[in-house]
Amino acid sequence: MTNELNNEKSSKYDYSFEYIKKKLEGSKDSFGKLVKEVIRTGICSQCGTCAAICPVLEWDPILGEPRLVGRCSGCGICYNNCPKVISDPIDLVGEFKAGYVTKTGIPEVVGAQDGGTVTSLLCYLFDEHLIDGAVTTKKDPNRPWVPVAQLITTKEEAIESAGSIYCHSQTVDALMDGVRNDIRSVAFVGTPCNIDAVAKMENSPSGMLKYFMRAHVLKIGLFCMDSFSHEALYPFFEKEGIDLREITKMDINKGKFFLFRGDDEVKSYKIKELDKFKASSCNFCTDLAAENADISVGSVGSGPMKNTTLARTGLGVEIMDDAIKKGYIIAEPFSVSNLNSVLYLARLKKVMQYNVKARRVFIVSDMDREEPFEELPELKEQVEIAKPFGARRMLRVDQKINEAKTGVNIAIKNVVGFLLEKLDVRVATVEDIFEKRPWKADIKELYPFESIQIQYPIEIKDGKPALGEIIIEIFSDTYGKIFSRKYDLGPKEK
Ligand SMILES: Cc1cc2nc3c(=O)[nH]c(=O)nc-3n(C[C@H](O)[C@H](O)[C@H](O)COP(=O)(O)OP(=O)(O)OC[C@H]3O[C@@H](n4cnc5c(N)ncnc54)[C@H](O)[C@@H]3O)c2cc1C
């Protein structure tokens, strides 16, 4: 290739580069974002696209990652061309036919969670006799703010069940109750994971609703960034001195979780502070906007007391347009800036799972190590599962003697979907009816499905490990004794 040709190519390339750079200007995507979301999280596939297209990036063959060799202008070309970054709007929020900014046109619905669009849609559907019933979620009358899914058959009940409860609700159970009781046409309100369950039942080859032609389900999806485990979040609120019976509204807005009593804000928390109470499944969910729904409704991008509404299917568009025409819903045009806010949040959710890093903590005893003993009886791995605590098993405990025969490795796994805090682990050797060599470890926090490994030193007598029985007991600050079991490590050396 001649130099002349080279130069001509590079100037044409530069022209295109500048053109795209200008187009992306202001999007605030920079090399730093690529580093944070793709390189540091370990999802970079080392294709080298970023370094190949940007004049100030070079591929570092030793580190196996791109390196800045000039000033980053923040144009985001590297970020937006990376195959691991999701930047296409359809990939971020799913396909939709029409977008709206909406609020209720029904006076009784004003004061619902946001614009009251979901409740207004249900009112419209009941008034027009388009549905026999609807699945909504209300608060359990006996346990404050615990969600209970229900099948309703009137618009009055729809108005009563307005408002968001930021915890998983077993909506499919209520749906199937309705289907079994000959409800033929039903509106189903649910978070993206609830909507996915119904979509799967409708579409998968063995789906329970696929060949069941007597039921038609209109799926109304709620946008959802996070859902919480009420077993973990509510005790935290109570510890903070909040009486949940007095709380009339919970709201997530602009990265904060608010609790209200009437119009008064009782308390607010940064969502990050509450991350540990998040339902573990949300760490792996990438669907913000209920992509499999007929109509998806959220608050992001719409402004206060309004909704962002996406009609995805033909039926969804017809229902929305008729509800607007008949005054149930008031709609404003959906602008690029409304969409951009949704896209921004959707992208955060799509990349969230990359930031989940398995934590593994080792607490190693400081006991002096003896030389490994040679001839030990056969010891096989013993795996025991904790006895149920109440109706729920909270921990799985595995134990195994280490290779050097100097200690018992004890792996403790949180098998409930919420954070366990302040665990005291007590291990002792059992001799006849006496417990000897008690040993303690504190675990400050054990995240959902996290496993922590600790080591109990084996007593060495006359150069040989003294085996026999050990007892492992685990106490939780909140739930009391949640684990207790004896293990036989093998016959004692004489
Ligand atoms: C767990 C959760 C997380 C959310 N996160 C976001 C978010 O990050 N960004 C965003 O823009 N919007 C989010 N939303 C949606 C938002 O809170 C509103 O539900 C939505 O904007 C509709 O407002 P609305 O005024 O039309 O609702 P309303 O007219 O008040 O109707 C809300 C409907 O949702 C039902 N419902 C309440 N709680 C649940 C539940 N746990 N599961 C299933 N159905 C329920 C109610 O029964 C009611 O029918 C979330 C909702 C939930 C439940």
Q: Report the nearest-CA residue for atom 43 of ligand 1.
A: 190
Q: Which atom of ligand 1 is closest in space to residue 137's alpha carbon?
A: 47
* Residue 414 near ligand 1, beta carbon < 6 Å: no
Buried b (16+ CB within 10 A) or exposed e, 233-258: bbebbeeeebebeebebbbbeeeebe
Q: Which atom of ligand 1 is closest in space to residue 302's alpha carbon?
A: 11
- CA 345, CA 245: separation in Å to the nearest integer? 31
* Residue 319 near ligand 1, beta carbon < 6 Å: no
* Residue 192 near ligand 1, beta carbon < 6 Å: no
Q: Which atom of ligand 1 is closest in space to residue 112's alpha carbon?
A: 30
- CA 473, CA 485: separation in Å to the nearest integer? 7
Q: Which atom of ligand 1 is closest in space to residue 189's alpha carbon?
A: 44
Top-tier CATH class for 3-85? alpha beta
Note the pLDDT of residue 28. Answer: 66
Buried b (16+ CB within 10 A) or exposed e, 272-287: eebebbbbbebbebbb
Give me ligand 1 centre to Cα 207, in Å: 26
Indicate the CATH number for domain 360-488. 2.60.40.10
* Residue 115 near ligand 1, beta carbon < 6 Å: yes
Which three-class secondary structure string do you get for the chain? CCHHHHHHHHHHHHHHHHHHHHHHCCCCCCHHHHHHHHHCCCCCCCCCHHHHHCCCEEEECCCCEEEECCCCCCCCHHHHHCCCCCCCHHHHHCCCCEEEEEEECCHHHCCCCCCCHHHHHHHHHHHCCCCCEEEEEEECCCCCCCEEEEEECCHHHHHHCCCCCCECCCHHHHHHHHHHCCCCEEEEEECHHHHHHHHHHHHCCCCCCCCCCCCEEEEEEECCCCCECHHHHHHHHHHCCCCHHHCCEEEEECCEEEEEECCEEEEEEEHHHHHHHECHHHHHCCCCCCCCCCEEEECCCCCCCCEEEEECCHHHHHHHHHHHHCCCEEEECCCHHHHHHHHHHHHHHHHHHHHCCCCEEEECCCCCCCCCCCCCCCCCCEEEECCCECCECCEEEEEEECCCCCEEEEEEEECCCCCEEEEEEEEEEEECCEEEEEEEEEEEEECCCCEEEEEEECEEECCEEECCEEEEEEEECCCEEEEEEEEECCCCCC
Give me ligand 1 centre to Cα 170, in Å: 14
Q: Which atom of ligand 1 is closest in space to residue 114's alpha carbon?
A: 25
Note the pLDDT of residue 370. Answer: 36
* Residue 222 near ligand 1, beta carbon < 6 Å: yes
Buried b (16+ CB within 10 A) or exposed e, 49-85: bbbeebeebeeeeeeebbeeeeeeebbbbbbbbbebb
* Residue 299 near ligand 1, beta carbon < 6 Å: yes
* Residue 221 near ligand 1, beta carbon < 6 Å: no
What tokens were used for 406?
A: 């100097």
Give the right CATH number for 92-227+279-355 from 3.40.1000, 3.40.640, 3.30.2010, 1.10.10: 3.40.640
Q: Report the nearest-CA residue for atom 37 of ligand 1.
A: 164
Task: Outline which parts of the chain fall under CATH 3.30.70.20.
Answer: 3-85
Q: Per DSSP, what are the bridge partners of residue 134?
A: 152, 187
Give me ligand 1 centre to Cα 110, in Å: 15
* Residue 135 near ligand 1, beta carbon < 6 Å: no
Provide the residue-wise pLDDT of the chain in tens; the chain has 494 residues: 334 444 555 677 787 778 877 777 666 678 988 988 888 878 889 999 999 999 999 999 888 899 999 888 888 899 989 999 888 899 999 999 999 999 999 999 999 999 999 999 999 999 999 999 999 999 999 999 999 999 999 999 999 999 999 999 999 999 999 999 999 999 999 999 999 999 999 999 989 999 888 899 999 999 999 999 998 899 999 999 999 999 999 999 988 999 999 999 999 999 989 988 988 888 889 999 999 999 999 999 999 999 999 999 999 999 999 999 999 999 999 999 999 999 989 988 987 766 654 343 333 333 333 333 333 333 333 333 333 344 457 888 988 888 888 888 999 988 876 788 889 999 988 887 788 888 888 998 888 778 888 888 888 888 888 888 899 999 988 888 889 999 888 766 55
* Residue 338 near ligand 1, beta carbon < 6 Å: no
Q: Structure pTM?
A: 0.74
State which amino acid sits at residue 248.
T
* Residue 171 near ligand 1, beta carbon < 6 Å: yes
Residue among 93, 113, 310 to mutate when testing ligand 1 (max atoms within 8 A of CB)? 113
Give the C-alpha distances (Å, rounded to integers) separating 152 from 174, 185, 186, 201.
9, 12, 10, 21
Residue among 92, 150, 164 to mutate when testing ligand 1 (max atoms within 8 A of CB)? 164
Residue among 222, 329, 349 to mutate when testing ligand 1 (max atoms within 8 A of CB)? 222
Task: Outline which parts of the chain fall under CATH 3.40.640.
Answer: 92-227+279-355
Note the pLDDT of residue 234. Answer: 94
Give me ligand 1 centre to Cα 299, in Å: 9
Task: Outline which parts of the chain fall under CATH 2.60.40.10.
Answer: 360-488
Contact 151, 183 (CB under 8 A): yes
